[in-house]
Amino acid sequence: MLIRFRAANLYSFKEEIEFSMIPSPERIHSHQIFPKKKKNDIRLNRFAAVYGANAAGKSNLVKVLKFVQKMVVEGVKPEAVIPIQRFRLTQDYLHSPAKFEIEFKVGEHMYEYGFELDSRSIHREWLINFTRNSEKILFKRTTDQNGKAKLEFGSFINKFSKKEKLFLEFAGEGTRPNQLFLNESIDSNMMYFRGAYDWFRKVITVIEPMELYIPVELQMDEDKRFQDFLSQILRDSDTGIASIKADKMELDDLEDISEDAAQFINDHLSDADGFFLKVQQFRLTAIKEDDKIHLFKLIPTHRTLNGSEEAIFEVYEESDGTQRLIDLAPVLYELLLGENERVFVVDEFDRSLHPQLSRMIVELHLDENKSTQPSQLIVTTHQTNILDLNLLRKDEIWFVEKNPETGATDLYSLYDFQPRYDKDIKKDYLYGRYGAIPFLGNMSALKLSSKKK
């Protein structure tokens, strides 16, 4: 689970900002905190919502996590430029390294991982295993001016044989200047830091506005429980859909698909991987098995007005809100019914969703009966329907605001303002009490004279 992270000189963040899931001392909505399992454990919030004006930096907060995850899991090709975006409105910062540091929990272990880098080199990198009372260095890495990595390992290496020590040191020194050692350690088949690496690969999922978590069509074919879950959610959300299933078909069976679209599927499908695509008006997931291309297409079914017959629709005929709910369903399924630790970060969570539907999803996640579910949901949103202290804790509400003097993004929590619990924070937010709303100019200047010259 995510504990907190800090970033500086990344995207629109100039000076260091800190985002935290550590709860404040307030006692309200205590079931929304993931409890401690032992004495030295840590309590963590299960939800956070980030508000702010357009272009204030909400999406950049998500992009920071996406960038770090890709650097750890995918790495960078040899000789490639690191795709870093530093703060661009102050010239000195374009020539200074960016910094990122994150704390997270994997089972009973807590880690601090961080690095400093520019577009060519990882200057510093470190991984620490810590408790509330102590910390143990796992590794520290620096890169010299010649691009050679130098690794220092913690005391755990003393238990290794001479051969194991030499291998670890050799792999460390062979780390490319543009590659994280955490990524290199997995490439070199080392298991010593696997727990930390797997958190980035398996636990945290960052979903940008036009991305999917996983193709719904494929999950429905493989998981009958999920199919029932999705049908129930769509019925309860008053979408008009009575049930939904995924039909499996061959490429030749799909009517009205152009030759160009069919060729696109053939060209982009490997022997092992499946992928989601939209071809013309169709929404499909394609996989290749036994040298045959199989397509999965969602089939929503509505009841006719007399209730005795069924009417079959295409997904593209459903509303944007219904399609968005279908896309988010796998996330909600993992949050409510999953057994593994998960952290979902969803940008523009409320896109196309009705305010009541957005609130319903948050309420389902924060349900008291799910308080021991090892999962977190972090969203960026404009949806003020959940800006309610009857629903959320003060420390679950965050704001981003663009500094008018520097153009940099500031990040802060509602808890910093300490509003009374009887306050209408939605109204106060819209009045600008907490900032993070647009600074509107003189819109009347946009009006055109109706008089003809």
Q: Domain residues of the chain, as ranges?
A: 2-19+60-206, 216-324
pLDDT tens digits, 357-375: 999 999 999 987 777 778 9
Task: Write the single-letter amino acid at 403.
Answer: N
Q: Minimal CA–CA distance to 345: which of 233, 230, 229, 213? A: 213
CATH number of 2-19+60-206: 3.40.50
Judge contact between 401 and 410, C-beta under 8 A: yes
Q: Is 188 left (phi over 0), alpha (psi -120 to 50) or beta?
A: alpha
Mean residue pLDDT of the chain comes to 88
Tell me: pLDDT of 272 over 70. Answer: no
- pLDDT tens digits, one per residue of 158-171: 888 888 888 888 88
| Residue among 229, 232, 236 nearest 333 (CA) | 229
Which residue type, as a one-letter code, is found at position 232?
Q
C-alpha angle 49/55/59, rounded to 5°?
45
Cα–Cα distance list, 231 to 245, 325, 399, 437 (Å)? 8, 11, 35, 37
Which structure tokens are listed for 383? 């949806």
Residue closest to 285 by CA, chosen among 273, 298, 276: 276
* The predicted structure's pLDDT at residue 297: 85
pLDDT tops 80 at residue 274: no
The string of pLDDT tens digits covering residues 220-240 is: 878 889 999 999 999 999 899
Of 289, 253, 62, 30, nearest to 70 (Cα)? 62
- Look at residues 212, 185, 181, 182 and name the one whose alpha carbon lies nearest to residue 200: 182
